[in-house]
Every structure is written in structure tokens, then in C-alpha cells.
Amino acid sequence: MRHQSQPSTASQGMDWQDAGGQRVASVLSRPYLSTHGQGDLVVNSVGWFWQLLARLVGHQGVHHSSPPGWQTIWKGYLHFQIVCRWIQYIKERTLTT
């Protein structure tokens, strides 16, 4: 996935496994991915999601820093999955009550 976030393929759209994950990513991107300095990222692309995962765990994403490593991405993916599962849990709780 890291090589897919590079500029040559970063603008390609992602095939989301579920629509819930795509909605969560869109909502999380508002506070975590500012438009300043992210103009080359296409929403719902691999590069966009890569930057979102990195920002979830504190990667600054500035041009003079190195790109996020695999440990940062895995930590971000863990946080993303926790948020998705929490939202799913809340939805199930509200439907059963």
C-alpha cells in the first residue's frame, strides 16, 4: 500500500470493502486532512487514505518530513478500525433498543 500512495497511483480511486468505512474516512478527513498542503490528494484515493491513517496517530505530513512508515500506518489503521467498530456497535445498540 505504501508504494500505491506515491504520486503516480495516489490519484486512483479506492475500492472500499464496505460503505461504512468510506463514510467514516470521509468524516475523519475533515479535521485530520486540511486542504492546506494537501491539494494534490484526491478524495477517496489510496494516497488520501494513507495520509489519513498517518494523521490519525500524529504524523505531521509536512513536505520536509519523511513519509509515514509502516508502523505509523498500522497504528493509524488500528485506530480507524476501532472507530468503525465503535460506530457499528452504536448503530446496533440503537436498533435493538
Q: Cα 45 to chain center, whole Å?
A: 10
Q: How is the chain split into domains, by residue range?
A: 3-96
Angle between helices 46-56 and 70-96 (to 10 degrees): 90
User: How would you write the pLDDT of the chain (97 residues) with one tens digit per residue?
Assistant: 555 555 554 555 666 667 788 888 888 888 888 755 556 677 788 888 998 999 999 888 777 778 889 999 999 999 999 999 999 899 888 887 6
pLDDT for the residue 64: 77
